[in-house]
Amino acid sequence: MQPDRTVKRPQPYVADHVDRGILRLLQTDARRPFSSMAAELGVSDQTVARRYQRLRDRAGVRVVALTEPNPTRHELWLLRIRSAANNVDSLMSNLAVRTDTAWISTVAGPQGVESTTMVFRERTETGFALVRELSAQHSVASVSAQLCMSVFFGGPDSLLTKDDGPLEAGHPTNLPKPRARNDHDPDGRLLQALSIDGRASLKQLSRASGLSEDTAQSRVHALAAEGAFYFDVDFDPTLLGYTSTFAIWATVAPAQLSHAGIALARHREVSFAAATTGNTNLYAVAHCVDDHAMYRYITGDLARLPGIQHVETAPHLRSIKRARRDLTS
């Protein structure tokens, strides 16, 4: 009898009710003490600490501080890039290390594997340097760039709020205008430390900023209140049992675009929705438990959006970069 040489792939970690409770509480207060979470969830402090560490180690959960883009200085663009199959990994790696990119994925497009990425662009920039650079590469077949004119719902972690209660979306839309960040002053060093680990201890924040622990704590509260940053709970949607992720490009009658976008943002499957320029004017990312559920969503709630005329879908193949980014200016 021949030995079984089948390679068994590790099963993805799926959150249970305690894990989901921890994630939900982190979204409402990212630096909430474990003891406070434990009291609300009805478990011990040690259980919360152990579960959080397991979520970090096995599911890639990270609490990170993100600098809110200044709407007077930055534009959010969606790039759709088609390149030679043997160049996709290299291209994605180069895009991922840039500080102006976020939410980079490969998708199965109508002409093969494509990549989608969000780019934060300076309004004062002459032309679009990244598009020019990509277009000049021989291995890149085509690049399309769509300006996100209005974001109806943002942040991939907003999924949890729709599933587990009437909480606000994970990505704020009504923050005060953020101030410029300087990594050489104490506040800038605090933000840098929090962008790596939003739950860094006061001792770690004190060491990073050069401030006392009490001063570091008060500055974190003050900076958050000023809108200098917001906390994001960064994780893979498969943690919540969503194994099917699709990019959606839709065309909606202009008179109905706002109504359609607002309705789309309310769908529990949707983690990002925006009105865009281009051949299609509504873009979204949707997550379902499996492909059959995605089919029901596309032919059901999505098809019933007001003014919807055309829909193109592309399944996500791999996520290269999620919410973690560093926008310092």
Look up the CATH number of the domain holding residue 155.
Answer: 3.30.70.3460
Checking DSSP bridges between strand 62-66 and strand 101-109, what pairing results, if any? unpaired
Q: Longest Cα pair distance anywhere in the chain, in angstroms?
A: 70
| Residues 144 and 105 both lie in one domain | yes
Sole residue written with tokens 């980079």: 104
Q: Are 313 and 114 in contact (CB under 8 A)?
A: no
**Predicted local distance difference test score (pLDDT) of residue 173:** 37
Confirm whether 173 is domain-assigned.
no
Q: Of the candidates 148, 171, 181, 175, which has an alpha carbon nearest to the alpha carbon of residue 274?
A: 148
Q: Are 154 and 274 in contact (CB under 8 A)?
A: yes
Q: Of the candidates 315, 311, 325, 273, which has an alpha carbon nearest to the alpha carbon of residue 294?
A: 315
Checking DSSP bridges between strand 244-252 and strand 282-288, what pairing results, if any? antiparallel
Q: What CATH number does the domain containing 39 carry?
A: 1.10.10.10
| Residues 145 and 89 both lie in one domain | yes
| Residues 308 and 252 both lie in one domain | yes
For residue 105, the tally of other CB atoms under 10 A from its CB is 21
Environment class of residue 171 by beta-carbon count within 10 Å: exposed (0-12), middle (13-18) or buried (19+)?
buried
Please tell me what DSSP assigns to residue 85: G
| Residues 107 and 253 both lie in one domain | yes
145/77 Cα distance (integer angstroms): 7
Q: Are 111 and 176 in contact (CB under 8 A)?
A: no
| Residues 44 and 192 both lie in one domain | no
| Residues 303 and 271 both lie in one domain | yes
| Residues 140 and 88 both lie in one domain | yes
What range defines the domain where residue 278 resides? 74-164+236-318
Confirm whether 129 is domain-assigned.
yes
DSSP string, 161-211: HHHHSSPPPSS-SSPPPPPP--TTSHHHHHHHHHHH-TT--HHHHHHHHSS
| Residues 98 and 27 both lie in one domain | no
Spatial CB neighbours of 234, under 8 Å, sequence gap ≥ 6: 60, 61, 62, 63, 64, 156, 157, 322, 323, 324
| Residues 86 and 219 both lie in one domain | no
Number of helices (H) and strands (E) in the chain: give both, helices first.
11, 10
Confirm whether 2 is domain-assigned.
no
| Residues 183 and 39 both lie in one domain | no
Confirm whether 143 is domain-assigned.
yes
| Residues 212 and 143 both lie in one domain | no
Q: Is the pTM of this model over 0.85?
A: no
| Residues 209 and 295 both lie in one domain | no
Spatial CB neighbours of 187, under 8 Å, sequence gap ≥ 6: 181, 209, 219, 223, 228
pLDDT tens sequence for the chain (329 residues): 555 555 455 567 889 999 999 999 998 899 999 999 999 999 999 999 999 999 999 888 989 888 766 556 678 999 999 998 888 889 999 999 888 888 899 999 888 899 999 998 887 777 788 999 999 998 899 999 999 999 898 754 455 555 554 333 333 333 334 444 455 689 999 999 998 899 999 999 999 999 999 999 999 999 988 878 888 888 888 888 899 999 999 999 999 999 999 999 999 999 899 999 999 999 999 999 999 999 999 999 999 999 999 999 999 999 888 765 443 43
DSSP string, 257-294: HHHHHHHHHT-TTEEEEEEESSS--EEEEEEESSHHHH
**Predicted local distance difference test score (pLDDT) of residue 253:** 97
Confirm whether 30 is domain-assigned.
yes
Number of domains in the chain: 3
Residue 91 DSSP SS3: helix
How far is residue 169 from each of residues 48, 230, 268, 270, 292, measured CA to CA in Å? 24, 12, 11, 11, 26
Confirm whether 324 is domain-assigned.
no
160/157 Cα distance (integer angstroms): 6
Bridge partners for 151 per DSSP: 274
Confirm whether 306 is domain-assigned.
yes
Spatial CB neighbours of 186, under 8 Å, sequence gap ≥ 6: 209, 210, 211, 219
**Predicted local distance difference test score (pLDDT) of residue 65:** 87
What H or E segment, with its residue span, contains residue 109?
A: strand 101-109
**Predicted local distance difference test score (pLDDT) of residue 174:** 36
Domain boundary among 228, 247, 264: 228
**Predicted local distance difference test score (pLDDT) of residue 235:** 84
Confirm whether 80 is domain-assigned.
yes
